[in-house]
Structure 1
Amino acid sequence: MNLFAIRAIYMFEMARTWRTLFQSIVSPVISTSLYFVVFGAAIGSRIAEVDGVSYGAFIVPGLIMLSLLTQSLSNASFGIFFPRFTGTIFEVLSSPVSYFEIVVGYVGAAATKAMLVGVIILLTATLFVDLRIEHPMWMVLFFVLTAVTFSLFGFIIGIWARNFEQLQFVPLLIVTPLTFLGGSFYSIRMLPEFWQTVTLFNPVVYLVSGFRWSFYGQADVSVGLSLAMTVLFLAVSLGVVAWIFKTGYRLKS
C-alpha cells in the first residue's frame, strides 16, 4: 500500500477545509445552534420529555446524525467531482496509485471532516442540554461507520454527477428529507401505526435509532438491526465504488 499517496490525497483534501473554515466548520455549528433554539425552545416547551428524556437532549443524536450525513455527502461528492470538472482527475488516475488508495484518500478526508463537525456539534450541545452517553463504544462505532458509509455514497454521487445541479440533487432532495422524516426530531412510536410501518422503509431510521440508543439506551428499532443495516449500506457502497473503478464509469471519459 502506497501510504505516501494516500497521505498526499488526504492532506490535500483536508487543506481545503482550513481554507474554507467558515463554510466547512463554523456554518454547520451555527445552523445546529439554531435548531436547538427553534426545536429545543419552541417545540420543547410543548413536549417536555420523550421516553423519559428531555426533548432538548432527545434531539441531539438526530442533529448530530443530520450533520454527519449531509457533511459526509457534500465533502466526498465535491472532493471527487471538482477534479473531474477541472480534468485534474486524469493526473491521479495516471499516477502509480491504486484505486483503493484513491478511495481511501478521498473518502478518509471526507469522513474526517464530517466527524470533526459532528464532534464540535456534540460539544456545542452540552452548552444547551445535559447529555449522557450510556454506550460510548457503540456511539463511536455508529459514528465512524455512518461517516465512512455516507462518504462512500457521496463519492459515488460525485462520480455520477455531470454538473453542479446533479451534485446537489441527491443530498438536498432525497437524503435531507429522509433524515428529517427518519426520527431525528421525534420517536417514530409517536406516529400512527400505519405511518410507523411506512417509516421503517426509510433507511435513515436505523442510523438515527442506533445512534440514539448509544446515548440513552432507547431505540425505535433493535440495535442489532440498526448495526446490520448500517453495515449493509457500507457493503453496497463499497460494491458500487468497486464497480465504478472496474468499469471506468464516468472516470475515463
Structure 2
Amino acid sequence: MNFYSIRAIYKFEMARTWRTLLQSIATPVISTSLYFVVFGSAIGSRMVEIEGVSYGAFIVPGLVMLTLLMQSISNASFGIYMPKFSGTIYEVLSAPISYIEIIIGYVGAAASKSVILGSIILITARLFVDYHIEHPIWMITFLVLTAITFSFLGFIIGIWADGFEKLQIVPMMIVTPLTFLGGTFYSIDMLPSFWQKVTLLNPVVYLVSGFRWSFYGLADVNVGISLMMVSVFLLLFLTIIWWIFKTGYKLKN
C-alpha cells in the first residue's frame, strides 16, 4: 500500500476545502440553521413533541443526515470530476499507484469533510435545541459509515458525469426528495397505514431511522435492518466502482 500517494491525494482534496471555507463549511451550516429556525421554531411551536422528544430535538438527526448525504455526494463527485474536466486524471491513472489507493484518497477526503461538517452542525444545533445522544458509539458509527458509503456514490457520479449540470441531477432530483420523504421531519408512524408501507420502499428511511435511534432510542424500523441497509449500499457502490476501474468506463476513453 502506497501511503504516500494516498496522503498526497487526501491532502490536496482537504486543502481545497480550506481554500473554499465559505462554500464548503459556512453555507451548509447556515442552511441547516435556517431549517432549525423554520421547522424547529415555527412548526415546533405547534407540534410540541413526538414520542416524548421535543420536535426541535427530534429533527436534529434528520437534518444532520440530510446534510451528510448531500455533502458526501457533492464532495466526492466534484473531487473526481475536476481531474477529469482538467485532464489531470490521466496523470493520476498513469502514476505508480493502484486504483484502491486512488479511491481511498478521494473518498477518504470527501468522507472526512462530511464528518467534520456533520459534527459542526451537531454543535450548532445546541444553540437552538437541547438534545442528548443515548448511544454515542453507534451515532459515530452511523455518521462515519454513511459518510463513506455516500462518498462512494458521489465518486461514481463524478466519473459518470460529463458536465457540471449532471453532478447535481442525482443529489437534487433523487437524494433530496427521498430524504425529505424519508422521515427527516416526522416519524413515519404518523402516516396512514398504506403510506407507511410505501415509505418503507424509500432507502433513506433506514438511514434516518438508525441515526435517530442512536440519539433517542426511537426508530421507525429495526436498527439492525438500518445497519444492514447501509452495508448493502456500501457493497453495491463498491461493486460498481470495481466495475468502473475494471472496464475503464469514462476513464480510459
- Distance in 2 (CA, whole Å) between partners of 1:244 and 1:8 is 23
- Distance in 1 (CA, whole Å) between partners of 2:41 and 2:128 is 10
The corresponding residue for 1:62 is 62
The corresponding residue for 1:193 is 193
Q: Which amino acid aligns with 2:133?
A: I
Matched, 1:89 2:81: no
The corresponding residue for 2:229 is 229
Q: Which amino acid aligns with 1:21?
A: L
Any idea what the Cα deviations from partners look like across 1:165-214, whole Å, max 9, x if unmatched?
A: 11110011000110111000100011111111110000000000000000
- Distance in 2 (CA, whole Å) between partners of 1:177 and 1:5 is 37
How is 1:204-243 mapped onto 2 (pairs within 5 angstroms)? 204-243=204-243
CA RMSD between the two structures: 0.5
Question: Where do 5+ consecutive residues of structure 1 fail to align?
Answer: none
The corresponding residue for 1:157 is 157
What's the TM-score, normalizing by structure 1?
Answer: 0.99
The runs of at least 4 consecutive aligned structure 1 residues that moved more than 6 Å come to: none
The corresponding residue for 1:73 is 73
- Distance in 2 (CA, whole Å) between partners of 1:222 and 1:180 is 20
- Distance in 2 (CA, whole Å) between partners of 1:154 and 1:109 is 12
The corresponding residue for 2:128 is 128
- Distance in 2 (CA, whole Å) between partners of 1:9 and 1:68 is 22
- Distance in 2 (CA, whole Å) between partners of 1:185 and 1:108 is 29
- Distance in 2 (CA, whole Å) between partners of 1:64 and 1:53 is 17
Q: Which amino acid aligns with 1:143?
A: L
Matched, 1:247 2:244: no
- Distance in 1 (CA, whole Å) between partners of 2:145 and 2:240 is 17
The corresponding residue for 2:33 is 33
- Distance in 2 (CA, whole Å) between partners of 1:219 and 1:160 is 35
What's the TM-score, normalizing by structure 2?
Answer: 0.99
The corresponding residue for 2:49 is 49
- Distance in 1 (CA, whole Å) between partners of 2:139 and 2:37 is 25
Any idea what the Cα deviations from partners look like across 1:38-90, whole Å, max 9, x if unmatched?
A: 00011101100001000000000000000000000000000001100111000
Shift of residue 127 of structure 1? 1.1
- Distance in 2 (CA, whole Å) between partners of 1:192 and 1:43 is 20
Shift of residue 131 of structure 1? 1.1
Matched, 1:19 2:54: no
Give the secondary structure class of the aligned counterpart of 1:186.
coil
Question: Where do 5+ consecutive residues of structure 2 fail to align?
Answer: none
Q: Which amino acid aligns with 1:227?
A: L
- Distance in 2 (CA, whole Å) between partners of 1:67 and 1:43 is 20
Identity among equivalent positions (%) equals 72
- Distance in 2 (CA, whole Å) between partners of 1:81 and 1:109 is 14
